[in-house]
Amino acid sequence: GVGQMAKGAVVLALPVEELVTDLIYKSETQFLLGEYEGALSTANDALRFAGEKGLRQGVALANDKLARILRALGRLDEARDRLRTALAVNHELGAKPASFENYLSLIQIATYSKEFSQASADVKQLQRLAEEMGSPIFTAKAYHAAGIISSAGGQHQDAREAYEKAVEYALDSGSM
């Protein structure tokens, strides 16, 4: 922050971006402490501040945080709506890694809800995004997600093939 003199004391002004980030982190710690309503309230405060100040990245992050909390609480429809909002903002910002993570969360919800056609559609978007980013790690994660969906849907041959591709891309990435 920027220091200013006020009656001989230094007053620090916290940039609103940091305030939004701190609120998101606070909501995470509240959630981990089992303070679920407080976590939701704090994440909503972060969303409100980000929206009021036009901080699009903060809006995406706060919606993503709300979605994660709501998903853990079993409020899947609300979580899905928040993730779709975060995804739309991240697309608008060109934030491909964040969009990728939003798709992964949407796939988890769809798979858990046994909405395999929606999960498969989201995996196709995930794979497209991984190709655009040109990262073997993201491509490996996309195939991993495809494997989970195939396995959950009883398509074990497809799951094996997806996992084989995930391993191949992970090894090609040089991170193993």
pLDDT score at 6? 45
| Cβ pair 112, 86 in contact under 8 A | no
The answer to whether residue 140 scores a pLDDT higher than 80 is: yes
Sign, CA dihedral 47-53-58-63, equals positive
- What confidence tens digit (pLDDT) does each residue in 99-124 have? 999 999 999 999 999 999 999 999 99
User: Residue 151: exposed, middle, or buried by beta-carbon count in 10 A (0-12, 13-18, 19+)?
Assistant: middle
pLDDT score at 143? 96
User: Residue 154: exposed, middle, or buried by beta-carbon count in 10 A (0-12, 13-18, 19+)?
Assistant: exposed
3-class DSSP assignment, residue 14? coil
pLDDT score at 42? 97
The answer to whether residue 3 scores a pLDDT higher than 80 is: no
- What confidence tens digit (pLDDT) does each residue in 13-41 have? 567 789 999 999 999 999 999 999 999 99
Sequence-ordered alpha helix ranges (H) in the chain: 16-32, 36-52, 56-72, 76-93, 96-112, 116-133, 136-152, 156-172
Q: What is the C-alpha to C-alpha distance for residues 83 and 134, in angstroms, rounded to an integer? A: 24
pLDDT score at 175? 63
Q: What is the C-alpha to C-alpha distance for residues 42 and 25, in angstroms, rounded to an integer? A: 9
pLDDT over 90 percentage in the chain: 86
Strand partners, 3: 12
pTM attached to this predicted model: 0.84
User: Which of the four pLDDT bands, split at 50, 70 and 90, describes residue 1?
Assistant: very low
Mean local confidence (pLDDT), 40-60: 96
Tokens 């940039």, residue located = 15
Q: What is the C-alpha to C-alpha distance for residues 144 and 119, in angstroms, rounded to an integer? A: 13
